[in-house]
């Protein structure tokens, strides 16, 4: 009974905050219409995601690891595993700006779609070459303007949390634009909201910022090697994080950054 009430409250606060943020984000979009990166409207979108997850008693999120010192001045291609629709709420706690790639269907939803559009995230119609070309062009413009791109290279959520094969696009983009790849490993979000379900559950989740992968000197021939290196690092870190979450009570975990 308590879980149902808390989940109902969580949906209610999501809707309430969405309506509160919509006019703010609309004004920000107009004010910063000359900025092709949509940096400031996107920042409001992440504030919405962070605040929404902070005010629900269901979820407890934390960030571990050190962000690159120059991530606020230069662009990275940021890649993460994808467990759940709760992932964006967790990743909104990361302390830097990014422009996200999201499937076109999300932009058509009420509230969520309006927020994504106003926040300046980049839509992708999966399986349509024209949409892929448009998305990559927009990513290139954003990276050249100094703003990072956020990509889920699996392309979809895993049903059981197992890491799916990575697609090439994010790694081709990083090599072509000459920017580093920043891998992230997350776990716990599949317990927040399982794939194919709108039910919310009490859970703890963590995202760990991993070491930067430099692409200097790489060419298109290095895409498979870069892709598998990023996947291996994320896979290893996810397994470690899951082991830490399952550790006996009182066993110390890695301390989060101050």
pLDDT tens-digit map of 97-122: 999 999 999 999 999 999 999 999 99
**pLDDT of 255:** 37
User: CB-hemisphere CA count at 13 Å for 187?
Assistant: 20
Q: Where are the alpha helices (DSSP H) in the chain?
A: 2-31, 39-55, 87-91, 104-107, 112-119, 129-144, 169-177, 189-192, 223-245
* Residue tagged 């430099």 (tokens): 214
Res 258 pLDDT > 70: no
User: What is the fold of 2-245?
Assistant: Glycerol-3-phosphate (1)-acyltransferase (3.40.1130)
Q: What are the φ/ψ torsions at residue 192 (nearest 5 degrees)?
A: -75, -45
If pLDDT is split at 50, 70 and 90, which confidence band does 250 have? very low
Q: Which two tokens stand for residue 34?
A: 């000359």
Express as a percent the part of the chain with pLDDT over 90: 83
For the entire predicted model, the pTM comes to 0.91
């Amino acid at each position: 009974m308590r879980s149902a009430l808390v989940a109902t409250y969580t949906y209610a606060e999501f809707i309430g905050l969405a309506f509160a943020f919509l006019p703010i984000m609309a004004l920000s979009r107009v004010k910063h219409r000359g900025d092709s990166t949509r940096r400031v409207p996107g920042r409001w979108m992440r504030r919405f995601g962070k605040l929404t997850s902070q005010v629900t008693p269901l979820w407890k999120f934390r960030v571990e690891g050190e962000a690159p010192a120059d991530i606020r001045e230069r662009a990275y291609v940021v890649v993460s595993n994808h467990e759940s629709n709760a992932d964006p709420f967790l990743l909104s706690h990361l302390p830097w700006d990014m422009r996200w790639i999201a499937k076109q269907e999300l932009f058509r939803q009420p509230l969520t779609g309006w927020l994504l559009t106003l926040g300046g995230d980049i839509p992708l119609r999966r399986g349509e070459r024209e949409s892929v070309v448009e998305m990559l062009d927009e990513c290139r413009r954003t990276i050249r303007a100094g703003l990072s791109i956020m990509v889920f290279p699996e392309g979809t959520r895993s049903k059981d949390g197992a890491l799916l094969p990575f697609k090439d696009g994010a790694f081709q983009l990083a090599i072509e634009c000459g920017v580093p790849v920043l891998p992230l490993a997350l776990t716990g979000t599949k317990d927040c909201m399982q794939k194919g379900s709108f039910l919310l559950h009490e859970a703890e989740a963590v995202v760990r910022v991993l070491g930067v992968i430099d692409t200097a000197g790489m060419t298109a021939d290095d895409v498979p090697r870069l892709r598998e290196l990023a996947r291996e690092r994320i896979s290893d870190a996810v397994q470690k994080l899951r082991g830490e979450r399952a550790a006996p009570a009182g066993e110390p975990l890695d301390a989060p950054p101050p």
